[in-house]
Structures are given as structure tokens and as C-alpha cells.
Amino acid sequence: MRRATLAAAIVGVTQGLFLAAATAAPQVSIAYGDAPAGDAALVHAHDILVKSQALEELNSFLTPLKFPTDLHIRADACGGALRRPYDRATKTVTICYEMIARVLDVAKAQTSASDQDRNQAILGTIVEALFHETAYALFDLFDVPIWGRIDDAADRLTAFVMMQFGEDNARTTILGSALFFDWSARTWTGKDFASAEAPEAQRFYNFLCIAYGGDPIAFDSLKTNGALPDYRSAQCAKEYQQVRKAFDLRLMPFIDADLLIKARARTW
């Protein structure tokens, strides 16, 4: 009898724990760290993200995902670095004000570019940076097998996601990112190629290829104007389908399909 009571108590406790766990569903938290007061460029970057509610938007965007644990997304000053790697231990994604400041700088330096192009590059690249850094967290939290360099994987997932929200959003984000890669391209030689990150020109083509492969009608001009050489554009449908398959197999099981439809129907 005593044993039965004990067993019942254990069951009760276990259920209680279970319920507690269930009620405290994992959450995405966002935060804007302070920019160093003396650094006008970083303060400006901070202000832009805050005013545009970049992290709030990103958070809404992630709503369909069923996270297994809490995820923290921070915008922060990174001590001069453009990027701070995703922290697997604390499940923290960081967007560096330095990166945002760099995007603004690069766009500003393009004096012969139209305002529209510059704005597209800024907006597209900020979205790209947010998605790219978040991709690392998704790979970790959902235990996604990564074949091919992880930084390229983050790019491909980013470009693929950019394609799921209508052709206008796709144009802004993908072509904007590509403009930035073009404008910021530097000459790579020798040991530069040891980097885990891809050269800007390579990223340029990777993004455009996912766009053309995913929607050869909306992005037809990429082929006709020669932005994508024929020998690459011929492969793009395959590249897009490959990412789509990886997404469907490894991320879709963690996405609420109904919420995803709502997200796709929303104006961003």
C-alpha cells in the first residue's frame, strides 16, 4: 500500500514536472546590447536596428519553428569584429553592430550607385546577416547534418528562405545581398583561401543561383543579362532543389505548417 502511494507520488511528481516543462515552452528572446557611446558608427548601427525593429521582426519570422530549447538573439558590439560565432553552449546568436556599420559604409562608398540600389543593398544585407547567423542556431538546435562547408550551408539556407516570401521580397533581399557582395569584393590570394568563409564573389554567385534556380521567371534577367554565366545557371535548378530537399527533410519536421503559411501570407 505504501509502495503504491509512493508510486502514485512519483507519478504525480513526474507529471508535475512534465506539465511544468510543457507550460514553459522554449522561447526566443531578443535583446539589443549597448553600442559604445564614443563610436558614432556603432551607435548609428544600433539605432537603425532598434528603429527598424529588426530583431522583433526576426522573432516573428521564427514563430513557426518549434524550438527544443530557448534561443537568444542579441544585437551587440563585438569588439571590432564583424561577426561573433554562434555560441552553442548558451544558444546565443549575435548580430554585430560592426557588421551593420560595414554594410552602411560599403553602400555609402558607392557614390555612383542609385539610392534605390544602395537602399536595397543595405536592407538585403541586414536581412542576410540576421538569417545567416540564425542559420547556425537552427543547424545546432535541430541537429541538422551539414554536408559542405557550414558557412556556405548558412548562405544557401538563407537564400532559400528569402525565396519563400514572394518575388518582391526575394528581389530585395537576394539582389540586395548580391550587390553588397559585389561592392565589397576584395582580391583573394594564397592563404586568404584558408578562410572558413567564402570569397564575396563566390557568395554572390551562390545567392543568385538559388534565386534563378528557385524562380527562373522572376529572375530571368540574371541569365539574360549575363550576371550568371550559362555554365552555372544550368545547374541552378538542381542547386535550389537540393537545398529544398535538405530543408524539407531536416527542418520542415520542426515547423508548424499552418503558422508557416501565415508567415508567408504576411507583409514583411
Partner 1 sequence: MVRPTLRLLALLAFALSLTAAEAAGSGSGGNSSSPAPGGGANPAAAGAPSPAASPAANADAALTNGKVKIAEVNGDGGYRLPKSDIYADTRAKMMKRQVLEEYVKFLAPLKLPKTIWVYVDECDGGDSASPFYSPANRALVMCYQFMKMMEDRAALIAQAEAKNPKLFPMKVNRDGFLAGVFAGVILHETGHALFDVLDVPIMGREEDAADEISTFVALQFQPALADIVVAAYSDVGETFDNPPTAAPDTKAADYPKDKTQQCFDDPFCAFADVHGTWGQRFYNTLCLMYGGNPTHYAFLKTGGWLPKDRDCPAEYALVRHAFAKTIYPFIDTDLMAKVQARAWFRSNELK
Q: Footprint of partner 1 on this chain (CB under 8 A)?
A: 139, 143-150, 152-153, 156-157, 182, 185, 187-196, 198-199, 201-202, 204-206, 228-232, 235, 239, 242-243, 245-246, 249-250
Q: Which residue number, 55 or 198, has a Cβ lying nearer to partner 1?
A: 198
Rounded CA separation 251/151 (Å): 17
Whole-angstrom Cα distance, residue 121 to residue 93?
22
* Helix segments in 24-114, DSSP class H: 40-51, 54-61, 97-109
Report the nearest approach of partner 1 to the CB of residue 28 (Å).
21
- What's 211's DSSP letter? H
Question: Which three three-digit cell numbers place residue 24?
Answer: 514553459
Cα gap 40→45, rounded to integer Å: 9
C-alpha angle 194-199-205 in degrees, rounded to nearest 5: 140
Distance (Å, whole) CA 39 – CA 45:
10
Q: How many CA atoms lie within 13 A of 223 on its CB side?
A: 19
Residue 21 C-alpha cell reads as 516543462
Alpha helices in 64-114 (DSSP H): 97-109
Q: Give the ranges where 69-149 is alpha helix by DSSP (H).
A: 97-109, 115-141
Smallest distance from the beta carbon of 222 to partner 1, in angstroms?
Answer: 11
